[in-house]
Amino acid sequence: MITQKPPPDIQATLTALQQTFATKIPKKVQEIRQSWEKLKSAPDDQAMFETFYRQVHTLAGTGATYGFEAISGFANMITLRLPKTEVITSLLVDEIEFFLEKLGNAISGESTAMTINMAPIQRQNMSFVSDNAADMLIYIVDDDVDLLSSISIQIQRFGYRIAAFSDLLSFDKALEREVPDVVIMDVIFDGDSKLGTAHIAHINAIRKHPLKTIFMSTSGDITTRLDAVRANGLAFFPKPIVAAAMVDAIETFTHQITEDIYRVIIVDDSPEQSASIALILQQAGMQTIEVNQPLKLLDVLASFQPDLVMMDLYMPDCNGMELSQIIRQMNSYVDLPIVFLSTESDLKKKLGVMGHGGDDFLTKPVLPWHLASAITNRIKRGRMISKLADTDGLTGLLNHIKIKDKVESELARAWRENTSLSIAMLDLDNFKHVNDNYGHPVGDKVLKSLTNFFKQNLRQYDVIGRYGGEEFLVVLPSTDLLTAKTIMDKLRTGFGKINHLRDEDDFTCNFSCGIASFPDFDSANTLIEAADKALYAAKNAGRNQVVINTPQINQ
């Protein structure tokens, strides 16, 4: 039996729990008061002290969880006056009586009104969509007008919205109208070596959320950097500023990578047990599917594409150890995390399971929070390892193999949905000249600059990978040939305006590009070959241009 259940309405469940808890608050406070009276009559009774402390501590924690802030606050004030290992003394009685009275008064103000706003649980793996640079606002503040103009133009070429200010008053007025995504702030104003950092520190002191600030200065000494850190500076750049490096920092602080929901297959011959586990994981934000007949597992592996398989050890027909060995013999699932959940407590048997393909072993019963945490951490590590294997070390883009896989998957989608698909192969012009004249570290910075430029200016659903060396492959779903050419020409022109810096020497780079589209070419190999041919045509025609490839051109 294979069961995939919809996740529960967690917010509705939480609201119901909150309402139930509210009705219990008066009784809980009454019990606390009764324990307190007993403790006053026997102040040396350690057992009663522990009972009283536990009751107040529990109310403080649970009240905070369900949004009853006043009740939680007064209960917490009592716990702060109760050392866990000491008995009550007469000196503490008056203070505790005062807060017990406040606690009683708070009941009518919170628990009966039932108007507490309770935010949904923050799931551990929510999906985030990357912001597009065109929607991001950057404030740049520097009293050096020439530098302000130069760096504004350079960063703007990466696609950001820029507002530049040469004085702090204009910056403050703009901040009242609109809060930017990032502030780039000079440290020195009017000869004051601390004014920039002090100004940001003052602003952050009255804000609920501090500004994301990058500081820059002609001075890079430890004292200046310390002031920047204390003002919540996320990065520090000594002048002269390298725009590409600044954009790299901006991208790091603002670019959120889309993360898919965690997917878990639960293999257990007991439907009651698998259903319980599924509910716990769903409440943690995961998607689950239950397999109650172990021999049916292979039927869902390929279609569900899990991040992790959780299975019982003892099951009919096929035990967990045998099933894990079957999974490990399949190349596609060699790295798939497998976690066993069983009542088995024998250490030798646990170690035996780990030696036959298991990654972790949890012993029943396991607390829900422990189960969700253990599975979350295992999936995070698995995805991290997978990402390292799938991406290029320098740029963080998909590597050669994975970008080709992306072409395959998007082509399959285009076939199914009868939509267009274009791919672009691009290569930096005269890149050997850059490496030879400026050094490979500078060449690496150019590659990273290109990466950031494309990340910020491509659409959310476009994908770029490093095909090899200075060659990149861009996948443009739902894009016909002429639209793809327009997109790539715009990117080519924009990247060509970016200045790259080595010491005091500025230089620019260009790229050539070839494009091919489906349905003109109907397989991944022919698409890539056609784009590659068009790229070489662009190179041979003089570089720094985009060439398209169609079947008619090849005839």
Looking at residue 12, the DSSP 8-state letter turns out to be H
Q: Are 532 and 424 in contact (CB under 8 A)?
A: no
Q: Are 357 and 326 in contact (CB under 8 A)?
A: no
Q: Tell me how far apart the alpha carbons of residues 447 and 455 are, in angstroms, rounded to a whole number.
A: 12
Active site residues: 470
Pairing of strands 505-507, 500-502: antiparallel
Residue that the structure tokens 């009276």 belong to: 37
Which residues are within 8 A (CB) of 441 and not within 5 positions of it... i.e. 6 or more apart? none
Phi and psi torsions of 414, nearest 5°: -60, -40
Q: Tell me how far apart the alpha carbons of residues 325 and 349 are, in angstroms, rounded to a whole number.
A: 15
Helix-, strand-, coil-residue percentages of the chain, each rounded to 5? 50, 15, 30
HEC secondary structure over 190-210: CCECCHHHHHHHHHHHCCCCC
Coil, helix or strand at residue 43: coil
Helix extents (H) in 194-319? 195-205, 222-230, 243-254, 271-283, 297-304
Q: Enumerate the β-bridge partners of residue 465.
A: 398, 473
Q: Is 439 left (phi over 0), alpha (psi -120 to 50) or beta?
A: left
Number of H helices, E strands in the chain: 20, 18
DSSP 433-491: HHHHHH-HHHHHHHHHHHHHHHHHHS-TT-EEEEEETTEEEEEEET--HHHHHHHHHHH
Coil, helix or strand at residue 338: strand
- At 336, the amino acid letter reads L
Q: Are 338 and 324 in contact (CB under 8 A)?
A: yes
Coil, helix or strand at residue 298: helix
- At 326, the amino acid letter reads I
Phi and psi torsions of 80, nearest 5°: -65, -20
Nearest to 67 by CA among 108, 23, 111, 100: 111
Phi and psi torsions of 497, nearest 5°: -90, -5
Q: Tell me how far apart the alpha carbons of residues 201 and 336 are, in angstroms, rounded to a whole number.
A: 47
